[in-house]
A and B are shown apart, each in its own frame.
Chain A
């Protein structure tokens, strides 16, 4: 009585994009579903599977490249996965279920996952195309910034999270950094003026200069075509050795568009992360669900979970959950959730400890917490987030609310 054991033919699953979403998905698939899928991960960058969030730490020389890994690539290879780096995909043939790489390699797939992420938005101003105008997205960008020797003037356009991270990293490397920010205060989507002022003061002590409420009009180039000065609308010119463009991100959808997938701002997906095409999925910063795109890791990790389940044949739905913004700028923790600019009938409870860089603002409306900013100490952030999510009536703890969960709980107890 012999049983014939037949090796099943594995489905070919290809992930385009070796960034955080793609790498993390590939890694989880290797661990959970390598019996079923042959997994191929393709990235355009020379490095795969690194933690992009830590580029700023790398720039600031707080860590070394050895600390950058997000997933264990070796473990993936041992489980049979194919890893391709530095060879961007050039096209997808939906009909043939295949794709072509820059190297000319053609590869067939049974399931395709697009995780092409996003690129730094380059403002359409004169000089932006110069070679010393870079984004702050990729490992390569860090290498370029690290290559500047000595103490040089450097310009950062954009006082959002990435811009500030770049600015701090460059300042720590000894450069004279100026941040240009269109809004009147830093991180204007996450912070109010007071907390932004605290942050600005902290960054100024690290040597970063700020030009707020203004945006460069032109990047003046020298005879070598390199930007040498930033010119402001009022005519002022500020010398610069390099310009880091950190004015936001744009989903990378070129590949999907060319392949004929439905694309709006990004590649449209359903709650199972399926695109408009059979057997093609998308996730991460390049996808759009329910009119939203995604820039923070938390929803993307959720998307990975959903997709893992869908690929395993299980039921799963991706739901957009409100996510608090948790940031860390140069060692300062920030937390921001909900409505942070109060309406007329909102009230703000404020705690401000300038000396220890600790600020809290809670926005309360009709007995409900509707928004919160925490600066410095964010330990209570998730509790406030729950109070907002659960629409907990906070009328009884208004006197202690801003001091956090420990106080309010001891009052309840």
Chain B
């Protein structure tokens, strides 16, 4: 009998339903997960990351017991240590000497108790979160316009709109299931127009009818222009504007000043006038329009203004609150929304109430029976870490996030954490860049072990359900917080019998004296029982008492949650990123994600199949820039900024414009020695949201001469102290590394460095195999220990692409090596084995060379490729890439 639960995917903000099953036999591995056919986010589909979840359920590197100063400790001692220290610093320095730094990956119930402890009992609003880095600007944008942090739309609107404008979103890779829904909708209704606004040509452009490759950061001007075009073309809904909004005239006036005509706007944004006018015409002719925006808008020094520039257009045309229309912010994390609902941000109080909300402080104090209410905003992420470095905040509790990688200016973050008197880190993983900085480590339960709720980007609350037992001493985060609260003497307020009681209290607060004044009301659940909680089905808030079905769409009635109930237009002056390129720092750095990794790889890094699509970090650079700098594809390149340096391999591509480079955010020091892109990013933030401008830096790019590139495959973990670059690529069968050394590595030294033997080769079955080729600069070694493959080192003066799969399989194999196998050890694969090339379809592990072959033998459409190879037929996220393989054919004119 297998036990299966319906739970929610822990990756992006789409919040797909997942079926998770226990293995029939507890000694077996967890079987692959499947999509929940009943979940309204995904209706059974999963992207490649979600599909690979079972692979991430493993015991490698789990944090299994609390540690204090590197020593294993009991929970009791760890909790006392934390409680005592918090009490002491609060007594000596005031409550603001403590801070939580939370994560959009913890559950709503975890968030709730953390927020309650800090803001009501310790007395500080220093509760910030990594959500600050991803959607703080969207929150402020919504709040400025609507008076509340309310996403008006739902996922159906993406399918029902006639015009979909995607801004700063590579949904094809970051929100694959939503993207698949868009693809399907466009296939069904080819008349539906899709516009992508993005400096880069991404996979998302694949379905675009129009791609505006704007100058980085110039998004707001596009919407400023659209607003004044709306007026020019008579699209403004005068009645709606008059009855339900304020400040239209001033906002329009500003738009006409900022973007007076198509020529100046096109010049500002660096786009073609004709393309801009096409957008304008489509905006005019399609009432059902959704603007779908994400990190490219939010991670900006003017992110909030960009959001409001977008919302202004929707308000002017009354394109919100109805089917197929609205400004739709998409979150990057599974529960950034839940954190927002709880109030788990330093500039929120609780349950969609701010400190400035009249009466809110008193209301919350009474509800919580709180002895020490915080009274004003706390420190937002970047400010918080600066305050820590300044010695103002002395105890920091980091939960489920990796600021050593994700916050800008890694050097500053390191200085802050080194300075902090007590750094507490709760995590599933024993080794992250941030756990390395901890004084106290608390082992947390993970996705498959934990009960609670999450909210996705369309306000849909879903259950996450634990199925597996907690490993070692791992505990739920909410439990750890409540235990500290109890140890500090707040037992009665944190004495929950189960996680459903926390949820019920959270629901109760949302409804407490609400009476329709606040958007967030889930009062229906305030007496939820354990059984009801267990049977919870995904529902979109608000779910006030008496409306158990929830709410599909917001603002249909034109009522907003401002003081006067009217939405606010916000006059916007488009501005470019704070930092400009100079002669010294001539390149604009953009950052983002790759298809098969997520955040800092603490979870996706456990799934070897997810490393196939993009095995190593890289920097995208335009061919002409590359040529000018003498950089070839795959060459190690140094990027430096005033803040630091990274070293990455170049990917020479026209997908990024000249003068711009792109670097993915995922690789940490656990996976590569010099790839954390935050090292280059300044701590520039949006003045309103505090969200860092993480998608913009100015850097210098240099070729690094005289290098030796290596592939190392070993049955043992290796270290590379002298390497300029190393990257470990996850594998179930052994250890795979890509390494770059400065010139001068020779055979004898490699043998010495990688030899598994103390003595010389006197033992039968211990040998080195060697291959040297001075013409190609290749030098390859394979080490056999006891007749089995131990280590392979391939060295070359030029970057070369060698498939490591076969070598890895030989590490794991106990079969004797045949003579042909032994030759193959120095080639990388046997002569009769198909070289798949780079994996394109992760679901079915189909590679570029297989695809090229299939196309050559007649499979000339994506469908045909799917029929032959199955590629693209599961999650579909590789379809944009598959299309690039298909030769362009001459269109026959009729």
Interface residues of A (CB under 8 A from B): 347-356, 358, 364, 377, 398-400, 402-404, 406-407, 410
A315–B643 Cα gap in the complex (Å)?
A: 85
Chain B minimum-CB-distance residue to A357? B819
Asked if B827 and A403 sit within 8 Å, CB to CB, the answer is yes
21 contacts between A and B (CB under 8 A): A347-B775, A349-B775, A351-B769, A351-B770, A351-B823, A352-B771, A353-B767, A353-B769, A354-B761, A354-B768, A355-B766, A356-B819, A358-B822, A358-B823, A398-B773, A398-B776, A399-B773, A399-B776, A402-B771, A404-B823, A410-B831
Please give, as numbers and ranges, the residues of chain B lying within 8 Å of A410 by CB-CB distance: 831-832, 835
Q: Is B826 located at the chain interface by the 8 A CB criterion?
A: yes
Asked if B822 and A356 sit within 8 Å, CB to CB, the answer is yes
Asked if A399 and B778 sit within 8 Å, CB to CB, the answer is yes
Asked if A403 and B823 sit within 8 Å, CB to CB, the answer is yes
A404–B830 Cα gap in the complex (Å)?
A: 11
Please give, as numbers and ranges, the residues of chain A lying within 8 Å of B766 by CB-CB distance: 355
A406–B826 Cα gap in the complex (Å)?
A: 14
Asked if B775 and A398 sit within 8 Å, CB to CB, the answer is yes
CB distance from B719 to the nearest CB of A (A): 27
Asked if A355 and B784 sit within 8 Å, CB to CB, the answer is yes
Residue among B767, B768, B775 having the largest count of chain A Cβ atoms under 10 Å: B775
Please give, as numbers and ranges, the residues of chain B lying within 8 Å of A403 by CB-CB distance: 823, 826-827, 831
CB distance from A307 to the nearest CB of B (A): 40
- B755-799 interface code vs A (CB 8 A; 1 in, 0 out): 000000100011111111111101000001000000000000000
A350–B826 Cα gap in the complex (Å)?
A: 11
Asked if A352 and B769 sit within 8 Å, CB to CB, the answer is yes
Please give, as numbers and ranges, the residues of chain A lying within 8 Å of B822 by CB-CB distance: 353, 355-356, 358
CB distance from A173 to the nearest CB of B (A): 26
Interface of chain B residues 631 through 686 with chain A (CB within 8 A): none
Please give, as numbers and ranges, the residues of chain A lying within 8 Å of B761 by CB-CB distance: 354
B770 interface neighbour in A348, A350, A364, Cβ under 8 Å: A350
Sort A-B residue pairs by CB-CB distance and give the 3 closest, nearest first.
Answer: A355-B767, A406-B831, A352-B770
Please give, as numbers and ranges, the residues of chain A lying within 8 Å of B769 by CB-CB distance: 351-355
Please give, as numbers and ranges, the residues of chain B lying within 8 Å of A351 by CB-CB distance: 769-771, 823, 826
- Beyond known contacts A350-B773, A410-B831: 4 more, CB 8 A cutoff: A350-B771, A350-B772, A355-B784, A400-B827
Given contacts A355-B765, A356-B822, whether A407 and B827 have CB atoms under 8 Å apart is: yes
A351–B784 Cα gap in the complex (Å)?
A: 15
Chain B minimum-CB-distance residue to A400? B827
Asked if B832 and A406 sit within 8 Å, CB to CB, the answer is yes
Please give, as numbers and ranges, the residues of chain A lying within 8 Å of B827 by CB-CB distance: 400, 403, 407
Please give, as numbers and ranges, the residues of chain A lying within 8 Å of B778 by CB-CB distance: 399
Please give, as numbers and ranges, the residues of chain A lying within 8 Å of B768 by CB-CB distance: 354
CB distance from A361 to the nearest CB of B (A): 10
CB distance from A38 to the nearest CB of B (A): 51
A353–B827 Cα gap in the complex (Å)?
A: 13
CB distance from A226 to the nearest CB of B (A): 41
CB distance from B797 to the nearest CB of A (A): 12
A347–B775 Cα gap in the complex (Å)?
A: 7
CB distance from B825 to the nearest CB of A (A): 8
CB distance from B776 to the nearest CB of A (A): 5
A279–B688 Cα gap in the complex (Å)?
A: 112
Please give, as numbers and ranges, the residues of chain B lying within 8 Å of A364 by CB-CB distance: 775
A352–B761 Cα gap in the complex (Å)?
A: 15
A350–B784 Cα gap in the complex (Å)?
A: 18
A32–B683 Cα gap in the complex (Å)?
A: 95
A310–B776 Cα gap in the complex (Å)?
A: 50
CB distance from B79 to the nearest CB of A (A): 57
Chain B minimum-CB-distance residue to A377? B819
CB distance from A383 to the nearest CB of B (A): 13
- B482-524 interface code vs A (CB 8 A; 1 in, 0 out): 0000000000000000000000000000000000000000000
Please give, as numbers and ranges, the residues of chain A lying within 8 Å of B772 by CB-CB distance: 349-350
Please give, as numbers and ranges, the residues of chain A lying within 8 Å of B784 by CB-CB distance: 355
Please give, as numbers and ranges, the residues of chain A lying within 8 Å of B774 by CB-CB distance: 347-349
Please give, as numbers and ranges, the residues of chain A lying within 8 Å of B773 by CB-CB distance: 347, 349-350, 398-399, 402
A347–B776 Cα gap in the complex (Å)?
A: 11
Please give, as numbers and ranges, the residues of chain B lying within 8 Å of A399 by CB-CB distance: 773, 776, 778, 800
CB distance from B750 to the nearest CB of A (A): 14
A262–B767 Cα gap in the complex (Å)?
A: 56
Please give, as numbers and ranges, the residues of chain B lying within 8 Å of A398 by CB-CB distance: 773, 775-776
CB distance from A158 to the nearest CB of B (A): 31
Asked if A358 and B826 sit within 8 Å, CB to CB, the answer is no
CB distance from B287 to the nearest CB of A (A): 57
A403–B771 Cα gap in the complex (Å)?
A: 10
A404–B823 Cα gap in the complex (Å)?
A: 9
A403–B770 Cα gap in the complex (Å)?
A: 12
Please give, as numbers and ranges, the residues of chain B lying within 8 Å of A406 by CB-CB distance: 831-832
Please give, as numbers and ranges, the residues of chain B lying within 8 Å of A354 by CB-CB distance: 761, 767-769
Please give, as numbers and ranges, the residues of chain B lying within 8 Å of A402 by CB-CB distance: 771, 773
Chain B minimum-CB-distance residue to A409? B831
Chain A minimum-CB-distance residue to B800? A399
A407–B770 Cα gap in the complex (Å)?
A: 17
Asked if A407 and B831 sit within 8 Å, CB to CB, the answer is yes
Chain A minimum-CB-distance residue to B827? A403
A355–B768 Cα gap in the complex (Å)?
A: 7
CB distance from B664 to the nearest CB of A (A): 29
Please give, as numbers and ranges, the residues of chain A lying within 8 Å of B771 by CB-CB distance: 349-352, 402
A234–B826 Cα gap in the complex (Å)?
A: 45
A295–B765 Cα gap in the complex (Å)?
A: 39
CB distance from B870 to the nearest CB of A (A): 24
Please give, as numbers and ranges, the residues of chain B lying within 8 Å of A356 by CB-CB distance: 767, 819, 822
Please give, as numbers and ranges, the residues of chain A lying within 8 Å of B770 by CB-CB distance: 350-353
A52–B831 Cα gap in the complex (Å)?
A: 38
Chain B minimum-CB-distance residue to A395? B775
Interface of chain B residues 842 through 878 with chain A (CB within 8 A): none
CB distance from A195 to the nearest CB of B (A): 13
Asked if A404 and B831 sit within 8 Å, CB to CB, the answer is yes
Residue among A350, A356, A404 having the largest count of chain B Cβ atoms under 10 Å: A356
A342–B251 Cα gap in the complex (Å)?
A: 81
Interface of chain B residues 376 through 398 with chain A (CB within 8 A): none
CB distance from A334 to the nearest CB of B (A): 16
CB distance from B150 to the nearest CB of A (A): 59
A364–B772 Cα gap in the complex (Å)?
A: 13
CB distance from A353 to the nearest CB of B (A): 4
Please give, as numbers and ranges, the residues of chain A lying within 8 Å of B776 by CB-CB distance: 398-399
Please give, as numbers and ranges, the residues of chain A lying within 8 Å of B765 by CB-CB distance: 355
Please give, as numbers and ranges, the residues of chain B lying within 8 Å of A400 by CB-CB distance: 827
Please give, as numbers and ranges, the residues of chain B lying within 8 Å of A355 by CB-CB distance: 765-767, 769, 784, 822
CB distance from B766 to the nearest CB of A (A): 8
Please give, as numbers and ranges, the residues of chain B lying within 8 Å of A349 by CB-CB distance: 771-775
